[in-house]
Amino acid sequence: MKIPQNQIINSEFILMKNIKKIIAFSAISIAMSCGKTSEEKENNTTEVTENQPLNIIFMVGDGMGIPQVSSAFYFGENTPNFKQFESIGLSRTSSTSHLITDSAAGATAFATGEKTYKRAIGVSKDSVALPTILEQLKEQDYQTGLISLTSITHATPAAYYAHVEDRDMHEDIAKQLVEAEVDFFAGGGKKYFQNREDGLNLYDSLTAKNYKLDTLELSKPDYSRRNAYLLSEEGLPSKTEGRGDFLGDAAKTAFDYFEANEKPFFVMIEGSYIDWGGHAKDDQMMIQEVLDFDKTIGVVLDFVKSHPNTLLVITADHETGGVSIGKSYDENGKEIPQQVQVYFNTDQHSTELVPVFAKGKGEELFRGIYENNEIYHKLMQAINEN
């Protein structure tokens, strides 16, 4: 406040008096702040997070049924991260054309909320393009991400951005990925972006779309651009072939990128080779892929715990191998009491219900037994109710 001319004589006195008042008020404020209970402080934090859009982390253990999850408890050295979940459900995986589905129809159900026919990517049972959760959230100013061990054009990641009648249309799918402008993606599939039958070089197209493209390593992201990591011609190596910690490292890299841009995000992370272990009837491959997926869950849970405005949902598109875990026998046919063994009933998918694990805001929505396409609707409900 401007002091009138006739009060200039008293200005120094008034100034000192006001300073004393400010100091006294500050001391009271500090004392009140220090006197707040932990519950009051927590409520203040809650008020801040409640006004923020919900981050969504969706993890798919391709081919991961209950027996595969069980293997982590019997063959791992540490307590599985699966044990940290209290909100658990079961999902029925059938497609509109087959009781026993495939990854394309399963992922389309997750991504669009509609069941479709086997081999379909992002289209209805009548082959009409369906909007995906990734596309819808992008329109709401969400950042978007996809991480896979297979080609990034493979069925599970493709269902979030592509719309084709058959999952093997990899070149069309790759072209649609460029057009989709996903902010962060990591996986394999280099061959579908260059040396294509149509002669297009999609590396150039990605650069034109403001992507930092790395085909050699999972390097530090460029926070001012989109980021694309294409690290193998098709799929990455399996865990038993020496893949290392790609899945967890890619998740950390994505979180680092999303946090730097300070906007909500949706990311799908696929543990692809649990399924491949089942198809190969390779128990060691299956077990190691489950353990790697569980380790990645630990990385993601660390993020969720420090970012309360995040929902993590983990499930599978189907079970592969008709797996059971039973008694183990020595070469003489005698049971080994402290060992168990993996048994495969088939080298194909099965119709077993698959588990759903949820942690974070809205996790209670995922308890119970429901169809796989309901997962999309539950995710959207959690976002809208936040």
Does 170 carry a binding-site annotation? no
| Tokens at 62, concatenated | 């391709």
DSSP single-letter state for residue 230: E
The residue annotated as part of the active site, out of 70, 71, 103, 148, is 103
DSSP single-letter state for residue 38: H
Does 156 carry a binding-site annotation? yes
Does 39 carry a binding-site annotation? no
Placement of tokens 């892929």 in the chain: 289
Count of beta carbons in the 10 Å neighbourhood of residue 310:
22
| Tokens at 176, concatenated | 């649609």
Does 98 carry a binding-site annotation? no
Nearest of 185, 184, 191 to residue 170 by alpha carbon: 191
Does 249 carry a binding-site annotation? no
Q: How far is CA 68 from CA 51, 63, 77, 134, 179, in A?
A: 38, 8, 16, 28, 36
Strand partners, 273: none
Does 62 carry a binding-site annotation? yes
Does 307 carry a binding-site annotation? no
Tell me if residue 71 is catalytic: no
Residue 241 φ/ψ, nearest 5 degrees: -95, 5
Does 270 carry a binding-site annotation? yes
SS3 call for 267: strand
Known binding-site residues for Zn(2+) equal: 62, 275, 279, 317-318
> Which residues are catalytic, by number?
103
Known binding-site residues equal: 62, 154, 156, 270, 275, 279, 317-318
